[in-house]
Amino acid sequence: MRMSTAAGLVLGFGLDRALGDPRRWHPVAGFGSAAAALESVTYRDGRVAGVVHEVLLVGGTAVLGVAADRLTRGERTVGRFAVGAGLTALTTWTVLGGTTLARTGRAMADRLEAGDVDGARALLPSLCGRDPKVLDADGLARAAVESIAENTSDATVAPLVWGALAGIPGLLAYRAVNTLDAMVGYRNDRYRKFGWAAARTDDLANLFPARVSGVLTAALSPLVGGRPAAALGAWRRDAAKHPSPNAGVAESAMAGALGVRLGGRTQYRHGTELRPTLGDGPAPRVADLRRAVRLSEAVQFAAALTAALARLL
């Protein structure tokens, strides 16, 4: 069981590297459509309704994961191993988003390097929820680096950690939690109460994975000309300033690894936030965005190996 899960995590990571996100009939998109439809029934301007919404969707997804996981149990045979590894690989591929994240980061760097600011603005919603219309080239580069840092943890490290801890149910339940946070975990008028449960559950689900991501970012920082001590120093000094207990870890470690300064005035569609400064040095530029993508890919690869080894042990 442990060996088939470990093999499936590695194979699923390989599928994501080779193919990226499924182009059609993506299960996560299907889950998002189902969640939106359910919201039309469960929505009330209160926390209890949000808790019900979260429990129904995350609980239902976890039950599906347990049912799939049971198909892999039983007598230890080559056939059972193949079924277990195959189902885990397909599930892992479905829930990971690291390759698409890296491709989008490189495409953003290409457009900024070519002076195509409008094209970069059009691409930004694929990375984060900021308002691209108010951002110049430097603002777009900073937004992209911060998104690469946070989503390296959310899109790859965290699902792999949960896959190592709980197999297929962990993979599916984590992706449900993270998707719901992206849909309703906002502090605007509609979701401040209803989205509370989604936001807090996502915070809890990412507490350990974000710190795994921070450690890997620091350890691998020499690959992009950084120093582990600088990444760890920025994490220790600046992470707690961030309003998110997890994004602060990922972004401050990335800032320290790259030797840049992140944070500051951040404009979303729902309003403007003044984010704390993370790291030392100049604001990130296009070359720093390319370094962030390279470091993200290295962290993703290390996370896949770490998750597989952890599952075996």
pLDDT digits (tens, 9 = 90+) for 197-230: 999 999 999 999 999 999 999 999 999 999 999 9
Specify whether the CB–CB gap between 179 and 28 falls below 8 A.
yes
Q: pLDDT at position 130, please?
A: 78
- Residue 23 pLDDT class (50, 70, 90 cuts): confident
Query: What residues does 274 pair with on adjacent strands?
Result: 265
Which residue range forms the structural domain that includes residue 111?
A: 2-312
Total count of domains within the chain: 1
How many angstroms separate the CA atoms of 145 and 66, rounded?
36
Per-residue pLDDT tens over the stretch 35-63: 999 999 999 999 999 999 999 999 999 99
Count of CB atoms situated within 10 Å of the CB of 246: 25
CA–CA–CA angle 228, 234, 237 (5° rounding): 135
Locus of tokens 């507490």: 207
Residue range 93-104, pLDDT digits in tens: 999 999 999 999
Alpha carbons 140 and 118: distance in angstroms, whole number:
10
> What is the Cα–Cα distance from 47 to 102, expressed in whole angstroms?
36
Task: Report the percentage of the chain scoring pLDDT > 90.
Answer: 79
Question: How far does Cα 9 stand from its chain's mean position?
Answer: 16
Secondary structure element (H or E) that encloses residue 264, with its range: strand 262-268
- pLDDT surpassing 90 at residue 308: yes
| HEC string for 91-124 | HHHHHCCHHHHHHHHHHHHHHHHCCCHHHHHHHH
List Cβ neighbours of 140 (8 Å cut-off, separation of 6 or more). Answer: 108, 112, 117, 120, 121, 124, 132
Record the tokens describing residue 165, joined without a space. 């801890």
> Which tens digit of pLDDT belongs to each residue from 146-188?
999 999 999 999 999 999 999 999 999 999 999 999 999 988 8
The residue type found at 92 is: T
Cβ burial 163-198 (10 Å sphere, 16+ → b, else e): bbbbbbbbbbbbbbbbbbbebbbbeeeebeebbbbb
